[in-house]
Amino acid sequence: MMLAASGIRAILKSEEYVFEPKLDGYRALCQKKAGALRFISRANRDITSEFPELAFSDQIKADCTLDGEIVIYDETGNPSFALLHSHNQHRRAPTYVAFDILELEGRNLQTLPLSKRKLVLAGIIEEGGRLQLMPSTEDGEKLWNIITARHLEGIIAKKKDSIYVSGRSRQWLKIKCEPTIDCVIVGYLTKTRQIASLALGLYDHGKLIYIGQVGTGFTESFLDELAQTFVSSSNGVVLPKSVKHVVPDKVCEVRYTEYTRAHRLRAPVFVRMRDDKPPEECTTDQVTNGA
C-alpha cells in the first residue's frame, strides 16, 4: 500500500494537491473478481470474513482492485475507531470508503497520475449503502476548517500527478490536528497496578529502539485485558531496569508534544491500539521524515 508522510498546514494553500479527510478506520484493499469481493488489510491479511456486511459487489461495474478505508460512523456522522474495533458487539454496520483504484480488468493503473485514477474510480462505482467514494477538494483550508470543527483526525494531501507506489511517499502528506505516532509496545512497568505504563519503541534503520513510556490515556479494565495478552521475551531493546520485556508484536497510537533529539517522546498520552498495523511499519521516519 502507498502510505503518507507527515506534512504541515502550509501545504493546504498549495494548488498541486487534492485534499481528503483522514478517516479513522481500517485501511484495506478491496478486490473484486468473478463477482466476489475480498478485503486485504495493510498487514496483508484477508479480513473479508470479519466484515460480511460489505456485500456491494453489484455496485462495482468491473473486476478491479480498490484502495480505501473501512469505517463505522457514530451518531454524529463521524468515523469512530472504537465502534469499528468492537463492531461485532453492536448493530452499526461498516462502510467502505474508496479513494483509489490500482487495477481494472487486469490492467495495472498504478502508473497513471492520481487525477486520472480518480476519474476511472468514479466511473466504475455506484455509491450507496455500504460503499462510498472518498470526498475530495482542491480547497485545503476550507476542508481544514470543516475537519477541525467536527473534531476529526486531519487531512490527507495528495499530489494530483502522483503515481501509486508501495510504501511511504512524500507525494501523499498527512496533516493532523494533533501529532500522534504509532509505536511498538516493547515492555511494561509494574508499580501500584498490574501495568503502570507501557514501554514504547520504534524501528530505527531496522533496529528497535526505546523511546519512552506512556502511563495515561487508558482504563483499568483495558490494562487488565492487555496484560493477559503479553508474552515475556528478551526482545533485545535496551530498557530501564524496572521494565519487563515483552514480545514486540503489538502496536499502539499515542499523542505527544515533542520527539526529542535523544529519541524520547515528551508528554505521551495513549490513544488506541492499532491491530491493523504491523510493528515493522513503526519507524523513526514518522518523526524524522514524516509518517
Q: Are strands 95-104 and 167-176 parallel, antiparallel or unpaired?
A: unpaired
For residues 174 and 5, the answer to whether their CB atoms sit within 8 Å is yes
R_g (Cα) of the chain, nearest Å: 20
Residue type, position 196, single letter: A
Nearest to 60 by CA among 31, 83, 86: 31
- Which of 22, 32, 118, 158 is the catalytic position? 22
CA 123, CA 135: separation in Å to the nearest integer? 15
| Residue 232, C-alpha cell as written in the block | 515475556
Residues 137/19, Cβ–Cβ less than 8 Å: yes
Helix, strand or coil, per DSSP, at residue 222: helix
279, 250 contact by CB (below 8 A)? yes
C-alpha cell at position 16:
498541486
Beta-strand runs (E) in 141-264: 154-159, 167-176, 180-189, 197-204, 207-214, 243-245, 251-255, 258-259
Is 244 one of the catalytic residues? no
* Dihedral angle sign, alpha carbons of residues 79, 82, 84, 89: negative
- Which active-site residues does the annotation give? 22
